[in-house]
Amino acid sequence: MDGKIVILTGAGISAESGLGTFRDEDGLWTKVPIEEVATPEAFARNPAKVHDFYNMRRVRAAEAQPNAAHHALTRLQTERPETVIVTQNVDALHERAGARVIHMHGELCRALCAACDHRWDAPPEMSPGAACPACGAPKARPDIVWFGEMPYHMEEIAGHLRAADLFVAIGTSGAVYPAAGFVEEARMAGAETLELNLNRSDVSAAFDAHALGPASEIVPAWVD
Ligand code: BV8
């Protein structure tokens, strides 16, 4: 098709790279409650536990390799540079496959100062009370958007959704807002909508078309 493609990816695109999803059977949030590791309140209560959780995930993400789905999206973006990829994932597998990507939920490999908002490359292990290199406050945290916090780049993403001719969601359960509402925003703007997922998601009914299967197969099949 002609026109602008906007793609939203979720944990399912990285599942075959060995990174677990969140809400599937055996998903991360079935083992570790969100309230203990992924809210600002959890960090205020027990920063060591939150750092341990993200230190572990930082190591796993660094060891993982992009899979055929990440590479296929990079090919698509190379052929059609106006293609926008928005990811909820905090791993860097899209970039490591060579794509340009908007990280709406932050990045494991970045640190954020809770005092002055300065950002820098996170060390492999972060620890409670680490000082910000810009202001010196002992307030370093992972640069991750936790529940109850505002996702990043929302105005930019809204502009892309308004201009989209095709919106594609890949490997996301549609359980977390505002990302789960993007399909409706794109539809309202007149875009066609396609869902690529192993199973139907919470918001499947909102899509015009679906392809079911592992991302490493259905994404290259769609792109190529
Ligand atoms: C906000 C970073 C506004 C952390 C994440 C009602 C009640 C209470 C709260 C709310 C509510 N409605 C909305 C909310 C707010 C809340 C929310 O949505 N809660 C839900 C749970 C109800 N949202 C927020 O708090 C957001 N902020 O709304 O701000 C605001 C306004 C004013 C002032 C302040 C704020 C912030 C949300 C961000 C949270 N952070 N991540 C981390 O990673 O550690 S979200 C978390 O879920 C994940 O990180 C991920 O990014 C996100 C989405 O998950 P998925 O990627 O979809 O993964 P999931 O496991 O769910 O699904 C996997 C899918 O893959 C499945 O569909 C499966 O079939 C598929 N799959 C599996 N294998 C494969 C596959 N597909 C293809 N191939 C395969 N091989």
Q: Range(s) for CATH 3.40.50.1220 in the chain?
A: 1-19+66-105+151-224
Return the residue matching tokens 């079935």.
30
Distance 10 CA to ligand 1 centre (A): 8
Say what the pLDDT of residue 156 is.
98
The CATH code of the domain at 1-19+66-105+151-224 is: 3.40.50.1220
Which strands form 102-103's sheet, in the order they lie side by side? 102-103, 84-87, 5-9, 166-170, 192-197, 209-212
Asked whether this complex has an ipTM greater than 0.85, the answer is yes
Distance 183 CA to ligand 1 centre (A): 14
pLDDT in 10s for each residue of the chain, 224 residues: 779 999 999 999 999 999 999 998 889 999 999 999 999 999 999 999 999 999 999 999 999 999 999 999 999 999 999 999 999 999 999 999 999 999 999 999 999 999 999 999 999 999 999 999 999 999 999 999 999 999 999 999 999 999 999 999 999 999 999 999 999 999 999 999 999 999 999 899 999 999 999 999 999 999 99
Task: In whole angstroms, give the CA distance from residue 153 to residue 12.
Answer: 22
Beta strand pairing call for 84-87 and 192-197: unpaired
Q: Range(s) for CATH 3.30.1600.10 in the chain?
A: 21-63+109-144
Q: What is the pTM of this model?
A: 0.96
Return the residue matching tokens 């060390």.
123
Task: In whole angstroms, give the CA distance from residue 224 to residue 219.
Answer: 8
Identify the residues whose C-beta falls under 6 Å from ligand 1: 10-12, 15-16, 21-24, 27, 38, 88, 90, 105, 144-151, 171-173, 175-178, 197-199, 201, 214-215
User: What radius of gyration, in Å, describes the C-alpha atoms of the chain?
Assistant: 17
Task: In whole angstroms, give the CA distance from residue 79 to residue 72.
Answer: 11
Q: Whose CA is nearest to atom 23 of ligand 1?
A: 177
Q: Is 3 annotated as a binding residue?
A: no
Distance 177 CA to ligand 1 centre (A): 6
Say what the pLDDT of residue 28 is.
93
Q: Identify whether 103 is a catalytic site residue.
A: no
Percent helix, strand and coil across the chain, each to the nearest 5 = 35, 20, 45
pLDDT digits (tens, 9 = 90+) for 59-116: 999 999 999 999 999 999 999 999 999 999 999 999 999 999 999 999 999 999 999 9
CATH topology of domain 21-63+109-144: SIR2/SIRT2 'Small Domain' (3.30.1600)
Q: Kindly give, in sequence order, each residue whose CB lies less than 8 Å from that of residue 65, ignoring residues fewer than 6 positions away.
A: 17, 93, 96
